[in-house]
Structure 1
Amino acid sequence: MDVQELYAAKLMSAEAAAQLVPSDSHVAMGMAVAEPPALLAALANRIETGSLTGMRLWYFHSMAHAAKTVLKRENIGRVRPHCMFLSSVERSLIKADPSVCEDLIDFVPTAFSASPQLLREEVALDTCVTMVSPMGKHGYFTFGTANDYTSVAARAAKRLIVEVNPLMPRVFGESPLHVSEVDGIVENRTPLLEVGEHPPAAEDELIADIVAGMIEDGACLQMGIGNLPAEVCKRLTGRKDLGIHTELLTPAFASLIQCGAVNNRRKATFPGRSVFTFAMGDELFYQWLDDNQAVYSLPVDVVNDPRHIAKNDNVVSVNATLQVDLSGACNSEHMMGHQYSGSGGQLDFVRGANASKDGISIIACRSTAKDGAVSRIVPKLEGPVTTPRNDVHWIVTEHGAANLRGKSLRERADAMIALAHPKFRDELARSI
């Protein structure tokens, strides 16, 4: 059948598409910018009217569309979230109603790189719903900003329903999606969710200076989310022959590509192209991403595989943490007795950078929290270990940088105390 005829045969309203989802089923949702608002609203309507019950929703990093529909407070309990990375959406729900929501939101600990296998082999996925870019003349959509686990879940689920948004960029890479693979198509033009930058704190400026000073020409970069990576990138515009192999692609990375600091010419994998698995930014960034052969999107079990990361030389991995103990172990996901986020891909890239020839892994954080009242450098972690001390390489705060590789526990403690805020150093020294 002609691809246009096939498209037309599968085109339906969001309400009709939502009717395809049975009760008591496992549903995977496109993450972050790829949340499909019309489909989620239609599913929420079924949940609220009682015609869809027992739905278990699997996802990473929810945002505003889910918060207004399937994850709004009235629906927690009617739908069972299986969240692999908490965002402000879940944190707000738990903060507002901890006695109920903390029990009803199921946090599923898993590395980002392991999520495709989890959804493919351990979860009996009935349906996957996600936003995609428009279909091309040969019948292919792309997953746009979210290849990650979504491209795998789309094939693992019994049925796939896509929401076509003409504003979703068409992105080159693996896992193009043919119209023959889709069970239902919904059309909905809506602005993409945007994530902006915030003014950096003075500590972030100091940390960014230190981190940028550790990055040389020819480095292959991965950076996490937040103000710090953006500040580091601003300091790299004069570098040459940088490469990008990253979990998250952001406007800060786009600026490095546009100014010529990034050309990917020294990379062993996908030379000439910046590799990523999901993207978030603003409208101009999404326009730049569209039909841009300088970037290449792959599933997260490829992008975040330490063995694949390490094929490139000079990998520099920069990630943030919430708390570091005196041995160097990092808790990057748990705070004040509660799950705050998730392990994400931090350990994947720490290990990938460590295995890379001349690679370095950097974990960075401000030395204090709560306006200086609490030290992030602690004798013992209050939550789970996201990055074990065995894997930690460099730790950076506004007070300096410490290479922990090859150091004894006593040497590590001395180095970590030197990175702590001066007002906490004596107390930390007494704890040894």
Structure 2
Amino acid sequence: MDQPDASFLTRLGKGLRARWGGASPEVEPSPAGMPVVLQAHADKITSAGQAMLQVRNGDHVFVGTACATPRALVAALEACKPRPLDVELVHFLTDHAVPHDEQGRCISHYRHRTFFVGQDMRAAVKQGLAEYVPMSIARVPGLMAIGRIAVDVALIQVSMPDEFGYVSLGVSVDVIPAAVAKARLVIAEVNPAMPRSMGDSTLHISQIHQLVLVDTPVIEFVHPAASEQAMEQIARYISGIIEDGSTLQIGLGRITNEALKHLADRKDLGIHSDVVTDAIIPLLERGILTGKRKSSQVGKIVTSFAMGSRRLYDLIDRNPLFSFQPIEVVCHSATIAAQHRMVSVTQAFAVDLTGQVCVDQLHGDYYSGMAAQIEFLEGASLSEGGKPIICLTSTEDDGETSRIRAMLQPGEGASLPRTAVHYVITEFGIAYLFGKSIRERAVALIEVAHPKFRAELFAQAQALGYLPPGQTLHNMRAYPVEEEQRVVLRDKREVLLRPATSSDGEAIRALFHCLPEQDVYTRFFRKVRGLSNKEVQRLCNLNFETEVAFVAAVGSRENAQIVAQGCYFVDPSTNLAETAFMVHPDWQGCGLGSSLQACMVRHAKARGVRGFLAEILPDNEKMIKLARNGSLQVSTEPTLDTVRVTTLF
């Protein structure tokens, strides 16, 4: 059996001493150059080429994941002569292990079965050299255990063994324990640069049949910056709904990682995530990631693999703050659901107006994959205060195609069913779909589509029967999240003042039915027993230029109660705006009307409106007083049936 040469072993020993702070009995090389820690296992040490000669015809070969991809072993298998026949490589996410020519074509000699179509696999799938399996990676270990996914050989990368004969799986635990448990032959690259991760991430060397020593840095992964303004805005929307004490899934999406940059003012966030990246480091340094409010493994960063820089790997190395677990443990729906305020974010390629989501096809080509998003979305939806989020830019990269579609296009699978979708976020706002009708979903999604596609989507939705004939469309701008304002009232209760949206219709109707008969009469100047859809839309489906409405909401965003509504309508001939208010009887007399009016005054002033005009019944003293409080320049004029109060800004 081939042995590494003495010069390699000497370099290896020096590297270990430099990494572990000088000589020790475990790492000091023997006269032959081999570190003592490896001498007891010398019979297992071989070269990559020799190890690959043990792969048989028809074998299913598992390849380790992501930044622990065993590149040297895969390269040796590709170079093997004679080449074993009918071999299939099985993997999740690999990094530069699959060979390509200068034109970007895959030139692997073997078939591939993959659960994620990353850059390594796109060409292979298109060329028919690889098969994509659309399933959650969290379910793969179970299928390996019963033989539905065959594994004969496992190629992995591990750390140096410790004095007890244990190696660490380092930055990738994921499905490796399951693959190792089923494999006839386990071959490991032993890399002194691989950090020793804590948690359930060790493997005894007796479970490894062949050791191949490598002297290479651990693969590093740098997230491309979310340079597009749209991605930056989406990241801000996501961060804006993450509360103190939330538990976060990080994921690999650029938008998700960008969102973490905007959490500097949060407290006691935790991590329970399939993968961690460098994005967590600033939050750790600022003391934001304490994990104090997690429901299990309090204070721990729980994950299954890491993709980042050497800085992250050094932080992970022998650090009990991190708990690396097999993928099926981390990504179990019940475990996720038990977390406090679990937040999961999934980037999508397209969403249709009923809420169906495509995450693994782009223009008909398979790209990306399910990872463990099904479990995280389900778990977050069941978590108390949890938020399952789908995010995407409103248009494709060319800016000429809407990602919000009337229907998913041919070649776009409904990876996530509409029944599982809660939040959908674009750079134009936040749509909440869960528990909503098809009409309500279509309206909400059209409002977060790019304005230049909204009219077309509206017409398509009507043609498909999603929207009734009386439905209207007025809002053609992004949701102005900067105009949201939390206000503490005189009685110490807190409300959120925010712009009204079309999806507020039912909540405004509910507010109307809470009003006493007298309040209804003073608001509408007539006896009204109910509001038609057209009347409801008049109160919330506005253009926010000449027609503006704000609401006061309490409770969660998912189940908000609207306790007040105010609106103004500009008369272009006078540049004055007529105002009207509704306030729930339980919220009157605490300053809510004044706060809502002040909010509307700020908005109107910023748009050059001269002032407000209110027509009020003479006996409605509360509203007359409210109208007069809007400005120092107030005039009151009695008319035939009302009092006209004009306030100039």
Counterparts of 2:38 and 2:76, CA distance in 1: 25
Q: 1:397 aligns with which of 422, 426, 431?
A: 426
* Matched residue type, 1:120: A
> Would you say the 8 A contact 1:6–1:180 is kept in 2?
no
Is 1:111 equivalent to 2:120 in the alignment? no
SS in structure 2 opposite 1:115?
helix
- Structure 1 equivalent of residue 273 of structure 2: 246
> Would you say the 8 A contact 2:99–2:106 is kept in 1?
no
Post-superposition offset of 1:395: 0.6
- Structure 2 equivalent of residue 91 of structure 1: 122
Higher normalized contact order (CA 8 Å, seq sep 6+, divided by chain length): 1
* Matched residue type, 1:196: V
Write out aligned runs for 1:127-146 (5 A). Answer: 127-146=153-172
* Matched residue type, 1:198: P
Deviations 1:395-429 (A, max 9, x none): 10000001112210000000000010011111111
TM-score (norm 1): 0.93
* Matched residue type, 2:425: V
Counterparts of 2:243 and 2:372, CA distance in 1: 23
- Structure 2 equivalent of residue 52 of structure 1: 84
- Structure 1 equivalent of residue 443 of structure 2: 414
Deviations 1:269-318 (A, max 9, x none): 21111011111011222222211111111111111111111111210111
> Would you say the 8 A contact 1:220–1:243 is kept in 2?
yes
- Structure 2 equivalent of residue 125 of structure 1: 151
- Larger-Rg structure: 2
Is 1:386 equivalent to 2:415 in the alignment? yes
> Would you say the 8 A contact 2:37–2:161 is kept in 1?
no
Q: 1:207 aligns with which of 234, 259, 274?
A: 234
Counterparts of 2:375 and 2:268, CA distance in 1: 24
- Structure 1 equivalent of residue 42 of structure 2: 8
Deviations 1:346-377 (A, max 9, x none): 11110010011111111111100032111100
Deviations 1:231-286 (A, max 9, x none): 11111122111110001100002322232101111112211110111110112222
Q: 1:299 aligns with which of 301, 307, 326?
A: 326
Post-superposition offset of 1:192: 2.0
Q: 1:257 aligns with which of 284, 289, 293?
A: 284
> Would you say the 8 A contact 2:69–2:156 is kept in 1?
yes
SS in structure 2 opposite 1:350?
helix
Post-superposition offset of 1:227: 2.1
> Would you say the 8 A contact 2:100–2:107 is kept in 1?
no
* Matched residue type, 2:313: Y
Post-superposition offset of 1:32: 1.0
Post-superposition offset of 1:173: 1.2
Unaligned segments of structure 1, at least 5 residues? none
Counterparts of 1:51 and 1:401, CA distance in 2: 54
Post-superposition offset of 1:141: 0.7
Is 1:169 equivalent to 2:195 in the alignment? yes
Q: 1:61 aligns with which of 93, 112, 126?
A: 93
* Matched residue type, 2:151: L
TM-score (norm 2): 0.63
Unaligned segments of structure 2, at least 5 residues? 1-35, 462-649
Counterparts of 1:166 and 1:16, CA distance in 2: 21
Deviations 1:174-231 (A, max 9, x none): 1410011110111101122222132321011111111111011100001221321221
> Would you say the 8 A contact 2:346–2:389 is kept in 1?
yes
Aligned length: 420
> Would you say the 8 A contact 2:246–2:269 is kept in 1?
yes
- Structure 1 equivalent of residue 550 of structure 2: none
Is 1:22 equivalent to 2:72 in the alignment? no
Counterparts of 1:397 and 1:307, CA distance in 2: 29
Counterparts of 2:254 and 2:150, CA distance in 1: 38
SS in structure 1 opposite 2:67?
helix
Post-superposition offset of 1:6: 4.2
Root-mean-square deviation (Å): 1.7
- Given the superposition, is the C-alpha separation of residues 124 and 319 from structure 1 closer, same or farther in structure 2, using an over 3 Å criterion? closer
Counterparts of 1:134 and 1:124, CA distance in 2: 28
SS in structure 1 opposite 2:79?
helix
SS in structure 2 opposite 1:272?
coil
- Structure 1 equivalent of residue 452 of structure 2: 423
SS in structure 2 opposite 1:344?
coil
* Matched residue type, 1:249: V
SS in structure 1 opposite 2:98?
helix
- Given the superposition, is the C-alpha separation of residues 38 and 123 from structure 1 closer, same or farther in structure 2, using an over 3 Å criterion? same
Counterparts of 1:29 and 1:120, CA distance in 2: 17
Counterparts of 1:400 and 1:74, CA distance in 2: 40
SS in structure 2 opposite 1:163?
strand
- Structure 2 equivalent of residue 357 of structure 1: 384
Counterparts of 2:254 and 2:367, CA distance in 1: 18
Deviations 1:142-162 (A, max 9, x none): 111111111211111111111
Counterparts of 1:280 and 1:113, CA distance in 2: 18
Among the aligned pairs, what percent are the same residue? 36
